[in-house]
Structure 1
Amino acid sequence: MPAVVTPFDSEGKIQLNDYSKLVKWLVSIGADGICVAGDNGESWALTPDERQKLLEAAIEAADGKVPVILGASAPTAAQSIKYAKIAEGCGAAAILLMPQTYVLKATRAELLGHFKRIADATDIPIVAYNSPRRAGISLSVDDVEAICEVAPVIAIKESTRDIHHLTHLIRRLGERISVMTGPSPFLLVAAALGAKGFIATGPELLGPVAARIMDIGRAAPDEEYRRVHNALTILYEVLMGVGTWPASFKAALNLIGQPAGVPREPVAPLTGADLDKLKAALTDLSVL
């Protein structure tokens, strides 16, 4: 389930036609769902009205072929409820929801209160999102299990880089919710351990191979397994290692001919040595 970027022009205006093209392209190469206004979508730079327009455009472009979910993370439950109601009204399949962002620390009671307030105010399913680097809060397996008791959590995007944590999460909750992996270097390992899928950055640059990643991961390791794992690892490292997110990802999409536009300020487009480094990595991987 790729998190689609939001194409902006140089003045910061959303290019909805290009956005629809991106969604249709992702579906055409095998995406099983689309995530709107996630990290890749520069959700922090979107107004509620823009978020709604993007969701409507994505649902129309997906044309019933795959479900569409909406990022609803925010510092307060009131803000997340506003986004969740947009998702409900537009017919999204679920919302993607972090703990209270930018709060940096929360007690168990505060975590549960945040998710419960949103669950009580809406009827939409929740894909929980554990990303300590983004939210500043790291959900333990116990936290996730407790959240499942107070909110209609159907899945989790797990973006820690801790294989021990991922192992225990899948072992304890993998039959109850769909564990979805975040960081690309962990995708094949997570598939072998029982993860149901991924909401990640970079696999789409491999084209139709992205649709086979879970099957490759569940099979016995072979040369294709090693080749795809290495490609995912290198892609992730270069995308996360140059520029300010998501400038590198947008540049990569533009380089392969997809209309990703430029980031919205204060993020600057990738240029100079950083762009050259990205081009070299994509060329080495035969993406270009």
Structure 2
Amino acid sequence: MRIIPPLGGGQWDFNPQIPEDTFLIDYYFVDGRGNCWPDLRAAQVRELAPGDCTLVGMGAVADFRSGFPEGARYQVAVWVEDLQGMEPGGVELGEAVLIRELQGKTPTQMQLYATANGLAAFHLRFKYCHRCGGSLESAESGWARHCRACGEMVYPRQDPAIIVTIFDAAGRLLLAHNTAWPARRVSLIAGFINMGESAEQAVCREISEEVGLNVKPEWVSYVTTQTWPFPQSLMLAYEVHLPADYPDLELTPDGVEIEWARWFARSEYLDAVVSGEVSGPVNHSVAAALVRAWLDNHMGTPVRI
């Protein structure tokens, strides 16, 4: 199974809401907490200071202070906290939308909003230098922060995590409910990779810890990768096919992260969704893409979500 990551892919494209002959810059307004303002027009912003925004798409320049070359187009993320104090005053932000629930956006737009959220979270969280305690300021067009006192450069990080589809010999999929999720939501087993641990080892460990199944590394195969900047994860997707002679398919949820888990045939899952017994993974996530591929029975062929 190979899945194109649903948050983006292919070449960058530009926001069709902003006419090309009117603006040279596409703006993505975010707050670093997973919210965005997709209908806020760039016309409401006259000038941008280096600390207010970050270039997240094409045409990155060395520093915002050099401005935007004439005729070039850019994708720019603007932090809403800073926007509220910018000229012109009295900008109405309107209703915030969760990035993960955006509808009608291209894959590139979704990737840009998500990237912008991750960068905004980075700027909001890293205010002081870890070496000397000095103040950090935006640098490298917003892709880093620089310490005024000692010169240390701080870069945004991504934390690698695994997510895995687990199939039994009959093709049923294991889905689980995390204690932190809304009632009835189910998704795949996932977790962060520990220091010194390979991704395949993390797959085996997480499955054992969360649902009590013992999986051999040779049963683990790579599927795809998706960045998930809410605020800073890199999801490495794998799949596991349990052999026909696997001794015991009984699931033992840990009761801490996983409240319950269950094997689903395709028809059972669809019936459960229609009846409201369960709801699937969140939109635009690689988990949703993996479940969709299973439902469509597209094993071994590319799937575009």
Answer 1 or 2: higher relative contact order, Cα 8 Å, separation at least 6.
2
Q: TM-score range by the shorter chain?
A: under 0.3
Larger radius of gyration: 2
Kindly indicate which of the two structures has a greater share of residues assigned to strand. Answer: 2
More helix by share: 1
For normalisation by structure 2, the TM-score amounts to: 0.23
